[in-house]
Structure 1
Amino acid sequence: MARIDINRSGEMEVFVRVVESGGFSAAARSLSLTPSAVSKLISRLEKRLGARLISRSTRHLQLTPEGREFFERSTAVLAGIEDAERAAGSAVEAVGRIRFNSSSVYCAHVLNPLLPEFLALYPGVTLDIAQTDVVIDLLADHADVAVRTGPLKSSSLMARKLGQTRLIVAASPAYLERFGTPQHPSELAHHNLLRFAYTRSVRDWAFRVDGEPHAVTPAGTVQVNDGEGMRQLALAGVGIVRMGAFVIREDIRAGRLVPILEDFSAGDEEDFYAIYVGQGGPLPSRVRALLDFLAERGKVS
């Protein structure tokens, strides 16, 4: 019988993190430990098991056959533990404050219309909503959940995909009447292209011309750090924008905005994710409730 002071699931989690992150240092950073502490824990695990799990003969991490077997079984065990905790926690009432952070356009066009339904389902929950298009640090800003576009940049964060939206180039009828409708991406050089003030993972506007990629760098008289502000500028006829379909779809249907250069569309999309810190233990019921709700009702298309 195993000694009760051995935290076997904790050892498994550290070992799995070492394998998945590709090294002791990366695993240590994600676990807020020192590399020497992680190394000692793995050595202690190998001694207890009586088998070498990781070969240290090269600069790159290499699993032994026993290590590969232990990794596969450990991931299965940890997944089972997580499922058990999730099932046990589902009966806990969702109460308390949720600190939520997202862009103004996601809040305006997706979250806000759904809030009455969510609050009716979970009357014990209160929401503290911060709207910003600037990517935040969830830990530093004490946010429970953030909705963002693009890939994760931190291994300490978890994510649930909320869909994707096609990017559309559009302008108001008043702008197009005054300055003309561009018929080719090259003609955008003579138009006022509204751009975002904050750093974006992809800055250029993507098109396809004769089957080949064609990029246009937006340059205009106005830049803005807020997506909903960008939409309002487009509606006012200030310039041409490139925005997600979920933001301007109703404006296009109502004729307030007109899509342009659709024949040259590259078909590129932005992925949306609900991001949260989920590796420090079971999620609070209130956070899990919001994540499940957004995954079902708060999808972007």
Structure 2
Amino acid sequence: MNLFENIKIFIEIVDSGSFTQAAENLQIHRPAVTKALQQLEQESGVRLLQRTTRRINLTSEGEEFYRRSKPLLAQADDLLESFAPHRPLHGQLRVDMPIAFARLIVVPRLPEFYQAHPDLEIILSSSDLRRDMLRDGLDCVLRMGTLDDGDYVAKSLGDIKMSTCASPGYLAKYGVPRTLDDLRHHQGVNWINSSSRQVMPWVFQTATGSEEISLPGKLILDNSEVYISAGIAGLGLLQGMNFFLQPYIDNGQLVEVLPNFPCPHRRLSLLYPHRHLSHKVRVFAQWLEGLVEGLR
């Protein structure tokens, strides 16, 4: 049991980024954190962390130990859960998701999740940039659309409706596109994939299948909040998640266009970094599936 406790403390040091924060998160004294790491390094026979006055860094052995030990603890926790399935969730869940999904869908509904699981602490980072699960110590990540190859398992949570729209001012100036051929005379606010640094194509459903179009534009963004602002300012057409755009369509700041050429729905997936799905992530995933179902 001391070995498992020491591994748990080591993982917390890495995830939190400091000995002091790890002690605070685990509610133990800081010397106990230092002692746990020393014992673990003695047991393994290698140095796991390089410590300086300002930060800690994983050694190459430490990275491998972290990668293999985190799912090991998750499996141990899940083993206990299998014999006590009604035991309340506890500890921390570290998750990253797109800004719009966090702000509009997840955070407003979190009170009901906490009512069911009051002992679980969620560390939620929201970013439209791709995060590295291992490096950032994340338990799971939400991603939209096509997934890159990576060391993770992806669980589909459902499909998200997409919309194409523009501001009334933009449409008054450039006209309302009726066909895909009309887009030659229009500009788009383009979106860039933060990982590949490639500008994402515009996708439309036609009678013969989906069609990808590169739309010219003077602005390329990677932040959803700024993306909306650019569309409202009349800088070009927008194409994005309907639940994000619909409030602005309802209040007249944006107008939906090309209804006969809808953008295909995009897949929302939950990614986790190993083949064993922990009980905490499983419960959270089931809750998220319910939220996505409500968007249809």
The one of 191, 214, 219 aligned to 1:217: 214
Equivalent residue number for residue 59 of structure 1: none
| Larger Cα-atom Rg | 1
2:289 equivalent to 1:295: yes
Structure 2 unmatched runs, 5+ = 1-63, 65-77
Which one is further off, 288-297 or 147-156?
A: 147-156
- State the one-letter code of the partner of 2:256: P
**C-alpha distance in 2 between matches for 1:203 and 1:159:** 21
- State the one-letter code of the partner of 1:293: W
Deviation for aligned residue 1:218: 2.4
2:271 equivalent to 1:271: no
The one of 218, 237, 246 aligned to 1:240: 237
The one of 177, 199, 203 aligned to 1:182: 177
Deviation for aligned residue 1:256: 2.5
- 1:7-59 Cα distance to aligned partner (Å, 9 max, x none): xxxxxxxxxxxxxxxxxxxxxxxxx8xxxxxxxxxxxxxxxxxxxxxxxxxxx
Deviation for aligned residue 1:133: 1.8
Q: TM-score scaled to structure 2, two decimals?
A: 0.64
- Residue identity over aligned pairs, in percent, reads 23
Deviation for aligned residue 1:107: 0.8
The one of 100, 105, 112 aligned to 2:100: 105
**C-alpha distance in 1 between matches for 2:86 and 2:186:** 57
Change beyond 3 A, Cα 1:181–1:155: closer
**C-alpha distance in 1 between matches for 2:229 and 2:114:** 29
Deviation for aligned residue 1:102: 0.9
Deviation for aligned residue 1:259: 1.1
- State the one-letter code of the partner of 1:90: P
**C-alpha distance in 2 between matches for 1:167 and 1:282:** 29
Equivalent residue number for residue 187 of structure 2: 192
**C-alpha distance in 2 between matches for 1:237 and 1:282:** 44
The one of 130, 142, 145 aligned to 1:147: 142
Contact 2:210 2:264 in 1 (8 A): no
**C-alpha distance in 2 between matches for 1:159 and 1:84:** 22
Change beyond 3 A, Cα 1:114–1:200: farther
Aligned length: 219
Change beyond 3 A, Cα 1:157–1:214: closer
Change beyond 3 A, Cα 1:223–1:210: same
Change beyond 3 A, Cα 1:282–1:90: farther
**C-alpha distance in 2 between matches for 1:84 and 1:126:** 21
**C-alpha distance in 2 between matches for 1:200 and 1:163:** 26
**C-alpha distance in 1 between matches for 2:252 and 2:219:** 23
CA-based RMSD: 3.0
**C-alpha distance in 2 between matches for 1:211 and 1:286:** 43
Change beyond 3 A, Cα 1:292–1:286: same
The one of 236, 253, 273 aligned to 1:256: 253
Contact 2:98 2:142 in 1 (8 A): yes
Equivalent residue number for residue 164 of structure 2: 169
**C-alpha distance in 1 between matches for 2:207 and 2:87:** 58
Change beyond 3 A, Cα 1:227–1:207: same
Question: Partner of 2:136: helix, strand, or coil?
Answer: coil
Contact 1:85 1:282 in 2 (8 A): no
The one of 108, 115, 118 aligned to 2:113: 118
Change beyond 3 A, Cα 1:97–1:176: same
Structure 1 unmatched runs, 5+ = 1-31, 33-82
Deviation for aligned residue 1:178: 2.6
- State the one-letter code of the partner of 1:288: R
Which one is further off, 95-104 or 185-194?
A: 185-194
**C-alpha distance in 1 between matches for 2:174 and 2:239:** 17
Which one is further off, 138-147 or 178-187?
A: 178-187
Contact 1:184 1:261 in 2 (8 A): yes
- State the one-letter code of the partner of 2:248: D
- 1:123-150 Cα distance to aligned partner (Å, 9 max, x none): 2222222122222221122111211023
Contact 1:86 1:282 in 2 (8 A): no
